[in-house]
Amino acid sequence: MDIAVPATPEVSIIVPARNEEVCLWDCLTSLVAQTAVAFEIIVVDDGSTDRTRTIAESFAGVRVISPGPLPAGWTGKNNAVVAGAKEARGEWLLVTDADTVHLPGSLARAVAEAKENRAELLSYSPEQIAVTLAEKVVMPVIFAELASQYPPAKVRDQSSGVVAANGQYILVRRDAYESVGGHAAVADKILEDVALARAFRAAGFRVHFRYGADAVRTRMYRNWPELREGWTKNLALLFPHPVRRAAGLFAWWALAWLTLPLLIAAAALYLRVRANFGRGATLLAMALGPPVVSYFLLRSVRAHRRGEVSWKGRVYSELASAREFSRPSGTRIDAALESRH
């Protein structure tokens, strides 16, 4: 597929990719079809052992680079994004994951939205595609919880103490990005998207965040092992009191089952409003999801405590520390997890 690469692109699209042969074709097909804005695409092949690089190179005009060795104390994604940013020429940088699909014209609209809102960082929470039973059970509950913890309206309120971003879609003005140190400044952070948003907010830059189903969609995990590993990596870092949240979520679910049908109806409404999933996934999540998500929360806490956080064949033992996560005193995480095995 051909893409006309302008001499001076307004936007440089950076796609960090590690073993993404299942989804990269759809991602790049949607990106090369963008219109109404000058852009370039840089795919950073982060040591893939599948057909990721071959697929990326099949798109004429898409630059494919390698990030080089992973520095000690860095995550693979941060290393890949930094390598891509060094090659980028645009005034704006869009960092987007290989499992995303971008709607026609969304890139130009995103740039216009960032400018209209005077935002140096714009991030969309993509529409989440759930296909398997596990996805439908887990994803609506997690995104309902995330919407509760990080309400987009509060994130957009620059005076609030709430700030967040979704690493699947982050558009930044390059000069602001470089002034805060970019992804190199959050190199050791597993939850690099939220850390980057915090750096922008701390530097006085405007962060604009919203649900972006009109711009981008994604299917994050395609089976149970991916779902479990991915949320184990992230959940303990996303909530300030993950053990307490796991207990509360499980109690809410048990109470709902004991007081049918009133609380079940209320729970369904909560999930539907908060998580933006369809009715079928909402009902499954309402019935089965909370105990599974509670398990993921506890599993995530234990993995970070033990330095056993893994993702795509890498173990980030040095990063799972008090710098990103602290365990509330008096909890019995390991015992709670062992009782579930």
Half-sphere exposure (Cβ direction) of 267: Cα atoms closer than 13 Å: 28
- pLDDT tens for residues 284-327? 777 778 888 887 888 888 888 877 787 777 777 644 444 454 44
Mean pLDDT of the residues in the chain = 86
Give the CATH number for residue 112: 3.90.550.10
Contact 48, 57 (CB under 8 A): no
- pLDDT tens for residues 36-57? 999 999 999 999 999 999 999 9
Q: 237 lies in a domain?
A: yes
In 3-state terms the chain splits into helix, strand, coil percentages (rounded to 5) of 50, 15, 40
Q: 245 lies in a domain?
A: yes
Q: 50 lies in a domain?
A: yes
For residues 250 and 334, membership in a common domain is answered with yes
For residues 26 and 110, membership in a common domain is answered with yes
For residues 285 and 322, membership in a common domain is answered with yes
Q: 145 lies in a domain?
A: no
Residue carrying structure tokens 């936007």: 11
For residues 213 and 244, membership in a common domain is answered with no
Average pLDDT over residues 21-38: 98
Q: 206 lies in a domain?
A: yes
For residues 288 and 242, membership in a common domain is answered with yes
Higher pLDDT, 30 or 305: 30
For residues 201 and 67, membership in a common domain is answered with yes
Q: 2 lies in a domain?
A: no
For residues 31 and 177, membership in a common domain is answered with yes
Domain boundary pick from 191, 218, 245: 218
Average pLDDT over residues 208-212: 97
Neighbours of 138 (CB within 10 A): 27
Q: 142 lies in a domain?
A: no
Query: Whole-model pTM?
Result: 0.82
Close Cβ partners of 223 (under 8 Å, ≥ 6 residues apart) = 132, 134
Average pLDDT over residues 246-258: 82
Counting the structural domains of the chain, the total is 2
Domain range holding 173?
11-126+166-218
Tell me what pLDDT residue 321 has.
45
For residues 172 and 81, membership in a common domain is answered with yes
